[in-house]
Amino acid sequence: MERRERGPRAIEEGGVYTIARGKPAGHHGTVAEKLVRVWVVDDQASFRRATAATLDAMDDFVMAGECETGESAVELIRDGDADIVLMDVHMPGMGGIEATRQIHAALPELMVVLMSTYDLEDISAAATGCGAAAYLHKEHLSPDLLSRIWQTAG
């Protein structure tokens, strides 16, 4: 009988699931060196607005851009535009896993955090190999957790 994995293998620490991947080149784990530029990719405008409000509450993070589809993320996110991408897993058209795979192929140093309202075990096993640094349940997004992801991912 063939064994099937239900979802990605990851290490859970305080609500963040780290997916096996090293720190991006040039990332030293510190926040205060410069503003951390964040792109938000999500088909729900309400989540993009809530994330923008979370970023506004942070001294060291800034909203660098937003888009609502995986296709637009692949097209719009360029080298030097972002330090972190918060990527919704489930979107119409190209989903977050495929968009992450394509962005990671073009910009391997860019940190992508997959996000969803689904539990980790309900996310496709394909998330493990797409290049994402971590998985975060959307309801756990907070300034402290985002700072910790930036400081410790990898």
Q: Each residue of 99-109: pLDDT tens digit?
A: 999 999 999 99
Per-residue model confidence (pLDDT) at position 24:
47
Per-residue model confidence (pLDDT) at position 3:
34
Quick one: average pLDDT of 129-149? Answer: 90
3-class secondary-structure state, position 22: coil
| Domain region containing 73 | 14-152
Q: Answer whether residue 88 shows pLDDT above 70.
A: yes
| Mean pLDDT, the chain, whole residue set | 81
Residue pair 82/64 in contact by the 8 Å Cβ criterion: yes
Q: Each residue of 42-70: pLDDT tens digit?
A: 999 999 999 999 999 999 999 999 999 99
C-alpha span between 47 and 33 (Å, rounded): 28
Tell whether 3 is covered by a domain. no
Tell whether 9 is covered by a domain. no
118: which 2 tokens?
């689904």
pTM: 0.79
Q: What residues contact 112, with CB distance under 8 A and at least 6 apart?
A: 84, 85, 87, 100, 103, 104, 131, 132, 133
Tell whether 145 is covered by a domain. yes
3-class secondary-structure state, position 47: helix
| Residue, of 9 and 138, whose pLDDT is higher | 138
Number of domains in the chain: 1
Tell whether 44 is covered by a domain. yes
128: which 2 tokens?
């493990």
Tell whether 59 is covered by a domain. yes
Backbone angles phi, psi at 59, to 5 degrees: -75, -35
Per-residue model confidence (pLDDT) at position 117:
85
Residue pair 113/147 in contact by the 8 Å Cβ criterion: no
Tell whether 85 is covered by a domain. yes
Q: Each residue of 110-129: pLDDT tens digit?
A: 999 999 887 666 676 767 78
Tell whether 29 is covered by a domain. yes
Q: Answer whether residue 144 shows pLDDT above 80.
A: yes
Tell whether 4 is covered by a domain. no
Which CATH number do you get for residue 32? 3.40.50.2300
